[in-house]
Structure 1
Amino acid sequence: MVGYRYLGNSGFKISEITLGNWVTHGSQVGDDAAIKTVHAALDAGITTFDTADTYANTAAETVLGKALEGQRRESLEIFTKVYFPTGPMGPNDTGLSRKHIMDSINGSLKRLGTDYVDLYQAHRFDYETPLEETFQAFADVVRQGKALYIGVSEWTAEQLREGHALAKQLGIQLISNQPQYSMLWRVIEGKVVPTSEELGISQIVWSPMAQGVLSGKYLPGQPVPEGSRATDEKSGATFIKRFLRDETLEAVRRLKPIADEAGLGMPQLAIAWVLQNPNIAAALVGASRPEQLADTVKASGVTLDADTLAAIDEALGDEVFSDPENTYEVSPKQRLV
């Protein structure tokens, strides 16, 4: 079964492998398959589910709500996010203004079929809204009982520090950040993780398999597989391009004997690797078919020894992205509509 970890400096526990539905529910797969996948996650011991209002323009939340219908709410941890455009994408259908946050939380709760979410996350930093306005709205959402905790996604160390201070002043808890993190993408290690450790903020990391590259299915000198994420712009093709250099794919091939020696599959090795970092509360995984989760959950509870970790670093060499300056390039400087 899947293990649990505390989220930030709180008494709240989440499953260390969390099911996300960014490019699957409401978009890549049909509702029946999506619902079966959620049920398979529950059967495997995953009780934490992450979505966002912008995924499939709100459809992903609706599918997740249907999938969790009839489950004991107290036994689930449901996360969603706000920031990116939704609906007809008018001028107030995006960002972290008070209006958009208040409209969005009500819409998310209705679609998810729940009275509250456990974690409500700022999907990006909003340079066009005063941070005081954003956190006052978040504080009101918490006090209204519509969210229990507040988190953010892809914020810089400085933004986390400022947001944490405002949350503290308002008497609410900012307990998480949701950045990209994998063996190949380690940009949070330089500034974001040390700052988060100081402030009592955990990471819930997305793309622990580097958009599927660390599964080993992409081969140097070969065309990308048909139907893979690299061929579908809606499924993160933009994100995966940086990892499709032949030199990177050759480095990933060198991980296979390391995984074999550890008694793990390549996806398990990738997920187990991110969970070795004590600041990581959960690895977000996606699945388009129920059977994909059977191997994924085996990464929970795995301890990689020092020799294995050193061998991974040696195999990947210079193909690792680790410049903390990359954390400043994620949030758009202007809203998208």
Structure 2
Amino acid sequence: MNDNRKKITVGIFLAIGILIFVVAIFTLGSQKKTFVKSFNLSVVFNDIQGLKKGNNVWFSGVKIGTIKKIDFYGNSQVKVLLSIEEDVHKYIHKDAGASIGADGLIGNKIVVLTGGTPKFPFVEDGDMLKVNNSLSTDDIMKTLQVNNKNLVDVTSDFKILSRNLIDGKGAAGALLSDEQLAQNFKSMVSNLNRTSLASSKAAMELSAFSKTVNTKNGLMDKLLTDTAVFSKLERSVGSLQQTTQSASVMAANLEAASGKLKTSDNAAGLLLNDAATAQQVRTIMLNLEKSSKKLDEDLEALQSNFLLRGFFKKRAKDSLKMKNN
């Protein structure tokens, strides 16, 4: 009885062990898609970035296969053979691409497929997909390192700049620490404000003036639109131009005449410039004055003469009669 119990117990444990082994095989097989019908695709990478056999293949965020084999290809490239489930065959086109990604930030490497465009036919077993160039995690980390270095440099420069501002170095530092300079800056801003207000006022006045110019039947409107007014203005300008020319000619003549007065080759110039001639003219004028006085005296004497007294009386009566008429 004891032997039979031992045999039954061992048989039960063996059956449980076999059952667990079978369940494990089917579980692992379902995870690795071992018992699912599939087809193969290949991709050639320049760098597989730590990709391993058995890693997953993803399409639109869904696991559709695994990496079946990894081999060197050509001089320094790596050919990766992908085992893809047959169910997704109708979603992947021949222009589909493959890239290497990560399952999370620091997770296992995976191959990510894109579906392509409907104008291309579906892939077939053994087709080679193109590679989509994308930043790897290493490239991202390198970029982050460069950015961190740049950030450190910027922080250091800002630290120096802030220290200079506090110490009053440079124009900005002087503006922050020098009270007189700050006051001058305030005055400058105030002047600029007044200038802007004056400019605004001038612009408003110019706008008002332009409105008056555009007023219908106004002077400027007539000048700009009325051809008759413009013709009159044009004639007036022509007349003014002629007057200006005449004035110019007159000024030239006066200048020439004044030039003649400075020379002694003419009568006026001789009188003005020659002292002897001027003295002779003075003598002649003095003699004429004496002669006129003598003539007046002679006429008075004739009026007293009895022979001519009747003539002068008659002449005086005639003059008085003409005044009365």
TMscore range, shorter length: under 0.3
Bigger RCO (CA 8 Å, 6+ sep):
1
More helix by share: 2
Question: TM-score, normalised on structure 2?
Answer: 0.14
